[in-house]
Amino acid sequence: MRKMILLIGLLALTVCQQNTTVPLTREKAMELRKKMIEQQIMARGVKNPLVIEAMRTVPRHEFVPRDIRSNAYNDQALPIGFGQTISQPYIVAFMSEHLGVKPGDRVLEIGTGSGYQAAVLARIVDTVYTMEIIPQLAERAARTLQHLGYKNVVVRHGDGYAGWPEKAPFDAIIVTAAPPSIPPPLLAQLKTGGRMVLPVGEYVQELNIIRKTESGLHMESVLPVRFVPMTGKIQQKNKQD
């Protein structure tokens, strides 16, 4: 009996040790980011040096809940609470590259989430204006970005369907939640010559690149994706239609 109790105790100790979150050191995080860049991003064709350097610089693990930070540099999306996720690193890099941003640009992001995508873009552009409909996520992302010293990211709690008209027009707009159709207010707030990258669809989603030119809008579908749905006014509008 004593041996059985001892064995159960040892098994319980083993399980506890396996479930203990090992904190990432600065050196380990840098090593994992280097592998992420090489194996997940560059190996899949992302070439823009500005995007690659931004992904190399931004500490992704700081935007991930503490209990799963050991998975921060894995090739996967991760839960951040409230039914939302931080996107797979490759998708963040892919969308950033196809957004075509450059130093001096002003960008609107719809769907702040963890704040990671905004941080990546903030390493490239002049200012990122980012909107999040879930107040707790907006507050958390703002705290994280402030803690990490991102002074060129402005976080706002609100429904992204209407965009941010008082800060428009924008050189680029990125949407990280999938609407069933493209919100007209966002198109109106995009500069002529600018780009919008967003997933569109419900059960089947496609990542779309929209270019706004003097002659009109040019849309290209580039990748099948799976994002959380855009919530708020667009859902109500979709039900009415």
The tokens of 18 are what?
């396996």
96 catalytic per annotation? no
Tokens of 23: 């904190």
Instruction: Kindly report the three-state secondary structure assignment for every residue of 160-222.
Output: HHHCCHHHCCEEEEEECCECCCCCHHHHHCEEEEEEEEEEEECCCEEEEEEEEECCEEEEEEE
- Please identify which of the residues 70, 87, 96, 221 carries the catalytic annotation: 87
Cis peptide before 169 (omega within 30 of 0): yes
DSSP string, 71-114: GTTSSS-EEEETTEEEPPHHHHHHHHHHHT--TT-EEEEE--TT
Letter for the amino acid at 205? Q
Q: Which residues contact 179 (CB under 8 A, 6 or more apart)?
A: 161, 198, 200, 229, 230, 234
Distance CA 9, CA 15 (A): 10
Taking each continuous run of H as one helix and of E as one strand, the counts in the chain are: 8, 9
Query: Which residues belong to the active site?
Result: 87
